[in-house]
Structure formats: C-alpha cells, structure tokens
Amino acid sequence: MAKTVVQEFTKGLWDEIPPFRLVLGLCPTLAVTKTVANGVGMGVAATFVLVCSNILVSALRNVIPSQVRVPCFIIIIATFVVVVELVMQAFTYPLFLQLGIFIPLIVVNCIILGRAEAFASKNGVVPSTADGLGIGVGFTLALAVLAAIREVFGAGTLSVPFSDTVIHVFGPSFQPFTFMVEAPGAFVCLGLVLALMNLAGK
Amino acid sequence: MRDVIRMIVVLGVLAAVSGWLLWAVKMGTASQIEYQQLKFVKGPAIKKILEGSSNDPLVDRFKIQDGEVERNFYVGVFDGKANAVAYETFGKGFGGDIGIMVGVNLETDELLGIGVTTHSETPGLGSRAKDDPSFGAQFKGMSIQEPFKVKADGGKVDALSGATVTSWGVCAGVTDSAKFYKTLKPQLIEQAQAFAK
C-alpha cells in the first residue's frame, strides 16, 4: 500500500485530520481556540515541531536502538519545542504570552509523538516530511475553523493571525454569546464540527 | 553489552547535540527577548510613570552593578534635565514576588509614581494593585526617604481591601528599594546626566 508523497500530504487534511479524525491533541485544541490568532499561532508552532521532528526521526530511524526510541524522540521533540518557544518569545511576544503554558506542552502533544512513532520511524525522510506537513497543516486548519466559530459567536470579532488587526463582524450592538469562548463551549463546538464532518463524509 | 553501549552513545550524542543547539538559539535570541519583555511587560509601567518626559525611557537606560545584582535604570528627561529615573524592585506578595516599577525624582527624592509589572496575585483582589490606577497613584509625591506602610500600620497608604498581603508586599518592595537608591544615588545622578538634552 505505497502512497505517493502527495497522498501522504493530503491525508492529513481530511482523512486523518488530527483533532477530528485521529482525535489527538485535544488539550491545545480546546484550550487555545478562543481567538483565530491564538489558534493559528499554536497550529504553526506545532507544525514546525512536527515537520522537524519527523525529518530527524526518519533520518535517524536506523541509528536509534528500538529500546530507547521513545526517550530519543522526546529529546528531539523537546529540543524543537524550546526552539519554537524562544523564537516566539523573541518575535511574537504577545502571542507567546497568550499561549503561555501550551507551548511547552507541545512536547507531550500526542500528535507529534504519535507521528514519530507510527510514521516517521518506519518511513523515509521524504514521505515523513510530507506526512508532518500534511498533519500539521490539517491541525492548523482545524484550530482555525474551531477558533473562527468560537470567536465570531463568543466575542463577535475575528482576529487576523500575526497582526494586531481585529475585525468586528456584527458591529457594536452585538451581544456576545460568551458560552462559546468558555471551556464547555469548546467541547460543544468540537462535537458539532465532528458531526458535520461525519455527515459530509457519508 | 554492545546494545547497552550503543544505547548510551546514541542517547548521549542526541542530548549533547540538542544541548548545543539550544545554547546557540538561546544566545541568538537573548537580546531580542530582553527587548520584547522591556516593550510589553515593563514598557507600559515605565511610560506611565515617566509620562511627559521628552525622551524615550526605554532607549535611554543604563545598568549599574550593585554588589551581586545588576540593576536597570530608565531615565526620564523633563525640561531638558535628566532628573528622573525609574527602576524595578520586588516585594513578597500573596502568590509570589511582585515586580514594581518605581519612578523617583532625583532632585527631590519624591516618587513620580509606581506601577506593578509582574505578579501572580489573586485575580480580582491582589491583581487590582496592577489594574486599579488609584492604588499606584497614592504613592505619587511621597518621599522615598520615609518607610512605606499601609494605614492600619500607621502609614499613609490605603491598602486594597481584600488584598492586605499584596498591599504589604508593594509597600515593602518600595521601602526596600530606598536602600539601594540611597547608596547608588551619586552614580545615578552622574549616569543620568549623559542623557540630558
């Protein structure tokens, strides 16, 4: 069942889109999707870590002894997470403050360790890169969609990632549906999107 | 045995390479991170305390080595004279250290104002030390020479209701800072002159 590189990439966008299909990485998915800017920032950070760790794990897959593979994966992932954390702190400081603890928590994000274990440690560098990119972009998209729904209804705004621009969707008389930006709203929203995806996939 | 050695070598090399990489990134981003923290965490407090100064206090700053600690001072220029400095001090609060930016007039030793920079106080209670401008405003005009106390302890500061420990922490932090302010004052005046325009 050899897939092409393109297939490895596109599977992450629908068939194996992380929060909805693999149902992995729910903690950041629910926690940081209050605004689109936060969601996309988180997605980009996770994508960077995922792609880099997939490349390195697949390149070293014949060197790493199988008994200590998980510690090795964790070292690789943790290194890239700290790199992301420092770079975000240096260049997108407000976003870094918003995401806070969820950046270091990328280390234990199941998506990244899962892809390292299930895919990158068994495949070559090129398919692993495509896989990481696909899953990462899928994760970012999922976060963006979820965040957009929650932000538009919960706050009546739409923030543009990596800028200070905020669009007011409904105008000043809008009464925010604050349930959506709180934790239970995240679960409900996730469930609704999942249901819609199942409906569309039928 | 060979397996064990291989494991140790692979893990060891990975850890070493990762350590070196992190050191390189940390060094590369250190000054940029310092600037960002200055801009987003301390910046607003400094700007508010030294409001109306004709220079940019975030640019006009200097460091003084005080014993083992290095202290940062931000200079405010008023009427062409560099007669105000702001510096950060720490007081013990309810949830950890409270960072307090203190602005002092170098000629009169009067406080220009204080502002909380970092804290982990209770939201809604202790956090008002930062969010409620009237708390910080009462320090304005007081002299740094006298100890700062809340009214219940015979001082002049109106404590935040429900946040006595936070109020104590802020007062203690400002009082503490008077010590190094006094010893460093000659140096402060001398260094600040360089920024007068």
Q: Answer whether B40 sits within 8 Å of A93, measured CB to CB.
A: yes
Query: Is A170's Cβ below 8 Å from some Cβ in B?
Result: no
Secondary structure of chain A: what % helix, strand, coil (to 5)? 70, 5, 25
Cβ-Cβ pairs closer than 8 A, A with B, add up to 51
Q: Answer whether B26 sits within 8 Å of A86, measured CB to CB.
A: yes
Going by pLDDT thresholds of 50, 70 and 90, the confidence category of residue B139 is confident
**Residues 41 to 70 of A: which have CB under 8 A from any B CB?**
63-65, 67-68
Q: What average pLDDT score do residues B162-169 get?
A: 88
| B96-138 pLDDT tens trace | 889 898 888 888 888 888 888 888 888 888 888 888 888 888 8
Q: Which residue has the higher pLDDT, B40 or A144?
A: A144
Give the residue from B2, B3, B8, B14 with the most A CB atoms within 10 Å of its CB, the best one to mutate.
B14
- pLDDT-flagged residues of chain A (< 50): 1
The one-letter code for the residue type at A72 is C
**Residues 86 to 145 of A: which have CB under 8 A from any B CB?**
86-87, 89-91, 93-94, 97
Name the residue among A72, A76, A82 with its Cβ closest to that of B22.
A82
Name the residue among A67, A79, A90 with its Cβ closest to that of B29.
A90
How high is the pLDDT of residue A2? Answer: 59
Going by pLDDT thresholds of 50, 70 and 90, the confidence category of residue B26 is very high
- Strand boundaries in A61-189, DSSP class E: 157-159, 166-168
| A144-194 pLDDT tens trace | 999 999 999 888 888 888 877 888 888 778 888 888 888 899 999 999 998
- % of residues, chain A, pLDDT over 90: 49
Secondary structure of chain B: what % helix, strand, coil (to 5)? 45, 25, 30
Which residues on adjacent β-strands are paired with residue B99? Answer: B90
| B41-94 pLDDT tens trace | 888 888 888 887 888 888 788 888 887 888 888 888 887 787 888 888 898 988
Q: What average pLDDT score do residues B32-45 get?
A: 84
The overall longest dimension of chain A from CA atoms, in Å, is 62
DSSP string covering A5-33: HHHHHHTTTTTT-IIIII---HHHHHHST
Domain borders along chain B are 46-193
Q: Are B114 and B101 in contact (CB under 8 A)?
A: yes
Complex-level ipTM beyond the 0.85 threshold: no
User: Chain A closest CA to B43's CA: distance in Å?
Assistant: 13
How high is the pLDDT of residue A138? Answer: 92
| B170-194 pLDDT tens trace | 998 988 888 888 888 888 888 888 8
Q: Report how far apart, in Å, the C-alpha atoms of B15 and of each of A62, A148, B10, B21, B137 are.
A: 18, 40, 9, 10, 51
What is the rounded CA–CA span in Å between residue B64 and residue B70? 6
Contacts of A72 in chain B (CB under 8 A): 10-11, 14
What is the rounded CA–CA span in Å between residue A5 and residue A18? 19
The pairing of strands A166-168 and B81-92 is unpaired
Q: What is the pLDDT of chain A when averaged over all its residues?
A: 89
